[in-house]
Amino acid sequence: MKIVYFDNNATTKVALEVAEEIKPFFCELYGNPSSMHTFGGQIGSRIRNAREQVAALIGCEPSEIVFTSCGTESDNTAINGTLAALPNRRKIITSRVEHPAVLTVCRELENHGYNIIEVGVDSLGRLDMDQLEEQIDDDTALVTIMSANNETGTIFPVGQIAKWTAERGVIFHTDAVQTVGKIPINLSKSNIDLLSISGHKLHAPKGVGVLYVRKGTRLSPFMRGGHQEAGRRAGTENVPGIIGIGKACELAAANIHEENSRVKKLRDKLESAILKSCPDCRVNGDIENRLPNTSNISFEFIEGEAILLRLDKYGICASSGSACTSGSLEPSHVLRAMGVPFTAAHGSIRFSLSRYNTEEEIDYAIEKIPLVINRLRELSPFVAK
């Protein structure tokens, strides 16, 4: 059966160009970049090249790029590394809709005496900017706010937040795992201090990430050991991963405008067809200010898991906004923070596209999705018959 993959915010296909580029680094160029011999040493220049490719995509200096193992490590390093460097400050400002890679770390820090402020969002998922600005004070070690939400695609005004933090001498970190490669970013024109990237969200392999660290930012290493990454992140480099994320960034930079407008067109076609053909559904998130690839739709009166299972039978991969935990269906923390009604939050599905989706796939999904929704509604005890 053909797979129609609409789950690109979960992970992406490795680009063929990336797979080709990294192949020699498994069995031919497998030396350790820290070795004294030429065989290992030659890898160093390839890593430098990857660092330049990443830097070019986000508009920073190559020396400001630290390679990590994933977005989660980058987020953890940004938070814990900042707190370790600024031991006298006890407050962290974040949002209620962050990814668990940030939110879980912050909530754990609360148990260690830190004052955690979780800024709220409105019904469209937009950040309460007044609350955020008000909270920045002399005790604030870090403001950590994502660039765009992974569930709804809502984009946050991180440029404005970074301006405020810079004016007040506070470090600003943004989890840009869902934005890098999808919307242009130019860090040379922003006050962002720390920014997280994940390779597998932008057509590089799993197991590699990046933490951008603005020159001069105080940050203690999270991983300690060897002197890799100029002492900022110990551990023998994941060479194929690093080469892969470099190439993926180069590909993203080359076509970011055309690809994203093509992806947005496909997303909009899918979304408007669903809204037209399925009654009682709504889009979650800020429609005016969203990632071009993401559509989060709530289908009233039916369960997200049931929708996913039936879509799966047609080869359509998407994801649900609720997680089945210990027998009870918990709606996503993001939709709850937005105040999405219970009945709608339970039936929410995220479709997330990539440059590899085709018009033909969209037409196929437009044909199958109403069949799934209408059949489940027929079976639903909550729908009047």
Closer CB to ligand PLP, residue 101 or residue 145? 101
What is the distance between the alpha carbons of residues 251 and 21, in angstroms, rounded to a whole number? 12
Contact 192, 215 (CB under 8 A): no
3 state DSSP class of 97: coil
Give catalytic status of residue 106 as yes or no: no
Shortest Cβ 97–ligand PLP spacing (Å): 10
Shortest Cβ 69–ligand PLP spacing (Å): 8
Tokens of 196: 């997280």
What is the distance between the alpha carbons of residues 225 and 227, in angstroms, rounded to a whole number? 7
Contact 43, 50 (CB under 8 A): no
H-only helix segments in 87-193: 100-110, 129-135, 158-167
Shortest Cβ 58–ligand PLP spacing (Å): 16
Q: Which of 184, 326, 181 is nearest to 248 (CA)?
A: 181
Q: At 280, phi and psi to the nearest 5?
A: 55, 50
3 state DSSP class of 322: strand
Closer CB to ligand PLP, residue 43 or residue 176? 176
Closer CB to ligand PLP, residue 54 or residue 376? 54
Closer CB to ligand PLP, residue 310 or residue 331? 331
Residues engaged in binding ligand PLP (CB under 6 A): 70-72, 75, 99, 101, 146, 150, 175, 177-178, 198, 200, 209
Closer CB to ligand PLP, residue 177 or residue 239? 177
Shortest Cβ 377–ligand PLP spacing (Å): 30
Contact 244, 199 (CB under 8 A): yes
Q: Which of these is catalytic: 60, 106, 278, 324?
A: 324
What is the distance between the alpha carbons of residues 332 and 294, in angstroms, rounded to a whole number? 16
Q: Cα angle at 83 between 79 and 85, to 5 degrees?
A: 120
What is the distance between the alpha carbons of residues 110 and 193, in angstroms, rounded to a whole number? 23
Q: What's the chain's Rg over C-alpha atoms? A: 22
Closer CB to ligand PLP, residue 291 or residue 372? 291
Shortest Cβ 373–ligand PLP spacing (Å): 26
Burial class (CB in 10 A: 0-12, 13-18, 19+), 155: buried
Tokens of 22: 């990294």
Contact 25, 239 (CB under 8 A): yes
Q: Cα angle at 169 between 167 and 172, to 5 degrees?
A: 90
Closer CB to ligand PLP, residue 142 or residue 306? 142
Shortest Cβ 146–ligand PLP spacing (Å): 5
Closer CB to ligand PLP, residue 145 or residue 311? 145
Alpha carbon dihedral 35, 39, 40, 45, in 10-degree steps, equals 120
Shortest Cβ 70–ligand PLP spacing (Å): 3
H-only helix segments in 235-303: 239-277
Q: Which residue is nearest to ligand PLP (CB)?
A: 71
Shortest Cβ 86–ligand PLP spacing (Å): 23
**Active-site residues: which are they?**
324
